[in-house]
Structure 1
Amino acid sequence: MARILIVDDSPSQLLGIQRIVEKLGHQSITAEDGAAGVEVAKRELPDMVLMDVVMPNLNGFQATRSLSREETTKHIPVILVTTKDQDPDRMWGMRQGARAYLTKPFSEDELAEVIDRVFKSLDTPPGAA
């Protein structure tokens, strides 16, 4: 079981993603904007972050860049989960340090596949250490 931080400013999106993550057998932690997400990630050191992009205070691109450059959090894979579906957005998100990019709306199976793919790509999957 992995601990996954979900960062989204929409309560309904947060709850929906949280339900899927927990149904997959993972523990969820939540934050309601990018700034809070960075703070929670630094404090909790989750196994993965599912990050929205369009949020107040610190957007998901900025939060992803912050996490990917911080020594204590750069090992945590970030998946951007967003309505921003243009190729330049996708490329920019990956340049900020995201490991994957999932466009809303998505199915439960699509989210499960992306989470599984990213975990499989890690040198040390969660729970293996």
Structure 2
Amino acid sequence: MTDRLARDAGGAVDEIVAEMRRGFLDEAGELLRRLELLVEDARHGRVTAADMIHEVRRGAMRLRGEAANLGLGLVGAVAARLEDYPAGVKHLPPRAFDDLEAFIETLLDIVEGRIPLDGEAARLVRKLPPKAGFSVGDIEVRDVEVLLVMPYGTAAHFVERELQQCGYRTHTVANTFDAVAVVVRTKPDLVIVGAVMPELSGIDLVIGLHSMPATRNTPTALITSLPPDDDYLKLIPKDVPIIHKGPQFGDDLAEALDRLFLI
């Protein structure tokens, strides 16, 4: 009786999850169609760019959060890129409307079944447009993905700008717990982690990434304002470059990229 009840309960949970996923995919499709129309309205001046970006990011955040709860990692990965696309940009570039449509069309392809839900995120995200701050006409976009694990703000924007000047594609995650899933799913070519992060520190994250078989071969660097002789930095694996904030930042970053064979 107990075994049967356990089997029935397990089956019921699976059915509930499947039902919730179907409902989410239907609602996601409707939301994305509305965002598609909103982008078109903004393109023709019927809606301000600021209002359009606000609604698009809000929708992307909703999709990312609900997808994570339902184990739909590919939807969450693309939604996170859409949410991050305009970060740190005061004025959208002319290509932004086409870029946003590309994000939305990719998400529609996933939720409507043209791209498998269990498709490979690492390959798909590299096909998405680079962030709005990237000067596509002036700099060649390289097939190098750099994940920044830092709080959103001036420091993250500065690091991102330096990397974009090298032609690297960037994505920012402001939570170390979320970063683990992003690293596993999207397989970035480099992860740059801020040492000071809420809840789980960046130093703990770096140590964890170097300990797990799934991530230990992912190149990682640490950004910190701690002095070089700080005891906490002695915990960092020897092959992890440390980039110090301050006047030597540019040199440290260039040395880290060279050391990791990215320049």
Structure 2 residue matching 1:67: 3-state secondary structure: helix
14-23 or 77-86, larger mean C-alpha shift = 77-86
Q: Judging changes above 3 Å, is the alpha-carbon distance between structure 1 residues 99 and 107 closer, same or farther for their aligned structure 2 residues?
A: closer
Structure 2: gaps (5+ residues): 1-141
Is the Cα–Cα contact under 8 Å of residues 242 and 252 in structure 2 kept in the other structure?
Answer: no
User: Structure 1: any 5+ residue segments left out of the alignment?
Assistant: none
Q: 1:90 aligns with which of 225, 229, 233?
A: 233
Equivalent in the alignment of 2:59: none
In the TM superposition, residue 111 of structure 1 has moved relative to its aligned partner by: 1.2
Q: Normalised by the size of structure 1, how large is the TM-score?
A: 0.80
1:32 corresponds to 2:165? no
Give the superposition deviation at 1:109: 4.0
Higher relative contact order (CA 8 A, sep 6+): 1
Q: CA offset at residue 89 of structure 1?
A: 2.8
Q: Quick one: percent identity of the two aligned structures?
A: 25
Q: CA deviation at 1:33?
A: 2.6
1:41 matched to 2:183? The reply is yes
Structure with greater strand share of residues: 1
1:6 aligns with 2:6: no
Cα distance in structure 2, aligned partners of 1:109 and 1:23: 15
User: CA shift at 1:31, angstroms?
Assistant: 0.7
1:58 match: 200
**Aligned residue pairs: how many?**
119
1:65-112 Cα deviation digits (max 9, x unpaired): 2211222211101111111224223322236xx521111124434312
1:117 has 2:259 as partner: yes
Residue 99 (1) aligns with residue 244 (2):
no
Whole-Å separation in 2 of the counterparts to 1:40 and 1:104: 25
Is the CA contact 1:99–1:118 (under 8 Å) kept in the aligned structure 2? no
RMSD: 2.0
Name the CA distance, whole Å, in 2 between partners of 1:61 and 1:110.
17
Please say which structure displays the higher CA radius of gyration: 2
> Contact between 2:148 and 2:191, CA under 8 Å: does it hold in 1?
yes
Q: Distance in 1 between matches of 2:186 and 2:166?
A: 20
